[in-house]
């Protein structure tokens, strides 16, 4: 669906004159300012540092839990709420 919308937008923009393109750009700019910025965890230095630390811990023989144990812990925590 997104590809269809993108194609329609690009086709419409190609048919606009310069003044119309400026108006669309102004409108889009105002619209984009109203939306919250997208959080990309891989650009967050503290997140990347934490993930690197956890990976190093794992590679150096750190104690890990199984997926089943993780699920049990999460279920227990959620049941308390």
Instruction: Record the pTM.
Output: 0.43
How confident is the model at residue 35, as a pLDDT?
Answer: 67
Contacts of 24 (CB under 8 A, 6+ apart): 13, 16
- Tell me the average confidence (pLDDT) per consecutive run of 10 residues in the chain, 81 residues long: 84 90 84 74 94 95 93 93 71
How confident is the model at residue 73, as a pLDDT?
Answer: 94
Show me where the domains of the chain are located.
2-34, 41-79
How confident is the model at residue 37, as a pLDDT?
Answer: 74
* Interatomic CA distance for residues 5 and 10, integer angstroms: 9
């Amino acid at each position: 669906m997104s590809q269809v919308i993108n194609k329609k937008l690009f086709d419409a923009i190609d048919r606009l004159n310069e003044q119309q393109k400026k108006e669309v750009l102004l409108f889009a700019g105002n619209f984009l300012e109203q939306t919250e910025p997208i959080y990309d965890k891989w650009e967050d230095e503290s997140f990347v540092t934490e993930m690197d630390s956890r990976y190093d811990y794992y590679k150096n023989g750190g104690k890990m839990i199984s997926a089943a144990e993780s699920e049990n812990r999460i279920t227990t925590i959620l049941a308390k709420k």
